[in-house]
C-alpha cells in the first residue's frame, strides 16, 4: 500500500492531526510511537518509519496537508520542518491560484 493511502483509509494519523491542529506534526519512529498504533504498524510494514505532515494555508474553505515519508527514523529535523513549511506556503499559493482559475470558468 502507498503510505498516503494508509492514513486515508484509517482516517487517523499524524497528517490528519496536522490538518486538525493546523501545525506540523512529526512522527519520529513508527516502531516506537505510542500514538496511532494501527497506522504505525501499517506504515512500518511498507518500509516507512518517519512521517512529517504540514498543513497548507488555503483560501475559500479548502484544506490540505503535505505528507513526507522516510524509511529512516528521526529523518525530519527542525530544519527539515522549516523547509517543508516554506514549501507548503509556496504550494498553497499555487493551489489557491488553480482553485480561483476553476471558479472563473
Burial of 13 per CB tally in 10 Å (0-12, 13-18, 19+)? buried
Specify the pLDDT at position 45.
Answer: 96
- Within the chain, how many helices (H) and strands (E) appear? 4, 3
pLDDT in tens, 29-77: 999 999 999 999 999 999 999 999 999 888 777 788 999 999 999 999 9
Beta-bridge mates of residue 54 = 66
Q: pTM of the full predicted structure?
A: 0.86
Span 75-91, average pLDDT = 95
Please give the C-alpha separations between residue 72 and each of 8, 24, 48, 49, 69, in angstroms, as whole numbers: 22, 19, 7, 6, 9
Amino acid at each position: 500500500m502507498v503510505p498516503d493511502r494508509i492514513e486515508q483509509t484509517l482516517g487517523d494519523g499524524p497528517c490528519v492531526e496536522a490538518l486538525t491542529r493546523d501545525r506540523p506534526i512529526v512522527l519520529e519512529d513508527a516502531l516506537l510511537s505510542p500514538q496511532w498504533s494501527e497506522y504505525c504498524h501499517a506504515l512500518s510494514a511498507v518500509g516507512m518509519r518517519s512521517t512529517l505532515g504540514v498543513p497548507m494555508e488555503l483560501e475559500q474553505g479548502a484544506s490540505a496537508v503535505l505528507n513526507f515519508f522516510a524509511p529512516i527514523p528521526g529523518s525530519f529535523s527542525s530544519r527539515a520542518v522549516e523547509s517543508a513549511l516554506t514549501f507548503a506556503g509556496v504550494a498553497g499559493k499555487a493551489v489557491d491560484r488553480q482553485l480561483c482559475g476553476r471558479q472563473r470558468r
